[in-house]
Amino acid sequence: MGIVAGLDSSPDFTRIVVCDTDTGAVLRQGYAPHPVDPPEGGRPSDIDPQAWLLSLGEAAGGGLLEGVQAIGVSAQQHALIPLDAHGNTVRPALVGGDRRAQVAAADLVDALGSREAWAHAVGCVPGAAQPVTKLRWLARNEPENARRTAALLQAHDWLVWQLLGRPARRTTDRGGASGTGYWSATTGVYRPDLVELALGHQAMLPEVIGPSEAAGTTPEGLLISAGTGETMAAAFGLGIGLGDAVVSLGASGSVMAVHPEALADQSGMITSLADATGMHLPVVTTQNAVRTLRGTAELLGLPDLEGLSELAMKSTPGAHGLVLLPYLEGERTPNLPHAAGTLTGLRRESMKPEHLARAAFEGMLCGLADALDVLRGRGVEVRRIFLLGPAAELPAVQAAAPSLFGAQVVVPQPADYTAIGAARQAAWALGVSGGTLDPRTPPAWQGAAAQVLEPGEELAAGQAVRQQFTAVREQTHPGAFQ
């Protein structure tokens, strides 16, 4: 029996799991918060990457990594670390969806000509979060730092490079590269012209290595796998494959699915990412998910989402005719950046708290079902849907989701699937290096323990709710999906 470790360096903490190479069983775990204090109202936009190393060291304390043969690294996506010619950081890492970069995103769209041009070039349209956008912000707002920038890394690239002792060779994986805005999942190559468009000059980019390749070996003999972004690691940890989709319920929502090829989407609604296995992860994002539920709970004077769910369960499918278009913060899918929410169907008999609560859950889930249909409309097969996030545990979500999505819904037990995915990658690279695993076939680990929900007899009622939602959307925002 061998053991490997997976590292999840999130925006706020580092978690490490130590797993059995054959089964994926978690043997040990470590955790440490990042030693930074977020400013009031949100995370900082600038982080010294050394904080990630300090957190890693603390999480690995107490002999956690004793006997480990390989490590996989996953980390927050879109964190950009600009390096100078000597490999030193030019400035703190730019992390998260930095609002400062919103104007830069619009600048880049105009500079290349259109959203469609970007979607065709690299599979995504620049947003405030993407590294290519942060490069444009850097060039416009910190020109001296931009001039000194000679090389570019993301968070997992930088951590892998540090663990290996800062070798001359710097690497990344196709999953992480696909979120930069200057690497195309369709062609599998960088677009250095887009780096120059954003930064004003060329910069060295890390070598993109294969999913089962090793980035290197430490002087102590510890193998370090390619690493990947948190989205790809979580998908790998869950063990999703063709026919599977993942719906993630945060303040905003996202829908991703496994697909054998990259999807160039002229509308820009689909972000074409690569996964950690050699396949692809097309992603569609909604601006409004759990924020819809929280807003409704506040409106109804309820202290938490559990109370909102309990209230919604007193209503029935269709919420007595109430339909909520949940575009409270504008919307990405469909592209309605300046829209507001819409509540229709108000009649005397429908004006009860439980019906509004039910309409909030149905509106949120119908918005995510619209995102699923964007993928289905491009030929992505969706037979099974993994539902992630604390809100996935709410009875009102579980009661409505299978019939509204029109598919089996799987609610995995809470676990750090991102770290587990990183460990699985480490086991794959270790097996390939030792000749015991095929570089095209990852290790078959135990699937996530989960609750399985079927549409069953509620399917017809759920599809009627979808039709009602679609009719209201088309009347209020005609042609929104054209």
210-258: pLDDT as tens digits? 999 999 999 899 999 999 999 999 999 999 999 999 999 999 999 999 9
Is 303:154 a contact under the CB 8 Å cutoff? no
Q: Residue 39 pLDDT more than 70?
A: no
Q: What pLDDT shows up at residue 43?
A: 46
pLDDT given at position 447: 82
pLDDT band, very low/low/confident/very high, at 98 (cuts 50, 70, 90): low
CB 199 within 8 A of CB 143: no
Mean pLDDT, the chain, rounded, equals 94
pLDDT, mean of residues 188-199: 97
> What is the C-alpha radius of gyration for the chain, rounded to an integer number of angstroms?
23
pLDDT at residue number 111 = 96
Q: Which residues of 102-111 are buried (b: 16+ CB within 10 A; e: fewer)?
A: eebbebbbee
Query: Are the CB atoms for 421 and 6 separated by under 8 Å?
Result: yes
List the beta bridge partners of residue 255: 247, 284
Q: What is the average per-residue pLDDT within 97-109?
A: 85
| pLDDT value at residue 44 | 52
Q: For residues 386 and 407, what is the distance between their CA atoms, to the nearest angstrom?
A: 10
Name the phi and psi angles at 417, rounded to 5. Answer: -65, -25
pLDDT of the residue at 42: 41
Would the CA dihedral through 411, 415, 418, 423 be positive or negative? negative
Is a pLDDT exceeding 50 seen at residue 41?
no
CB–CB of 80/93 below 8 Å?
yes
Question: How does residue 147 score in pLDDT terms, banded at 50, 70 and 90?
Answer: very high
Whether 161 shows a pLDDT value over 80: the answer reads yes
Retrieve residue 256's tokens: 């991703």
pLDDT digits (tens, 9 = 90+) for 351-401: 999 999 999 999 999 999 999 999 999 999 999 999 999 999 999 999 999
Residue 410 and residue 385 in contact, taking contact as beta carbons nearer than 8 Å: yes
CB 235 within 8 A of CB 256: yes
Cα–Cα nearest to 364, from 338, 392, 383, 384: 392
| pLDDT category of residue 1 using cuts at 50, 70 and 90 | low
Comparing CA positions, the residue from 7, 78, 85, 87 lying closest to residue 47 is 78
Tokens for 286?
Answer: 């909604």
Measured CA to CA, the distance from residue 281 to residue 300 in angstroms comes to: 38
Tens-digit pLDDT profile for residues 414-454: 899 999 999 999 999 999 999 999 999 999 998 888 999 99
Q: What percent of the chain has pLDDT over 70?
A: 98
Q: Token match 């695993």: residue? A: 437
Give the pLDDT confidence score for residue 37 in this predicted structure: 63
For CA atoms 404, 405, 406, 408, the dihedral sign is: negative
Identify whether the C-beta of residue 176 lies closer than 8 Å to the C-beta of residue 232: yes
* Residues 252, 287 contacting (CB under 8 angstroms): yes
Is it the case that residue 40 has pLDDT exceeding 60? no
pTM of the model: 0.92
Q: Which of 105, 46, 42 is nearest to 79 (CA)?
A: 46
Residue 20's CB is within 10 A of a number of other CB atoms, namely: 17
Whether residue 208 contacts residue 183, with contact meaning beta carbons closer than 8 Å, is answered with yes
Q: Which residues pair with 152 in a beta bridge?
A: 82
Name the residue among 217, 204, 1 with its Cα closest to residue 85: 204
Q: Is 409 helix (H, G, I), strand (E, B) or coil?
A: strand
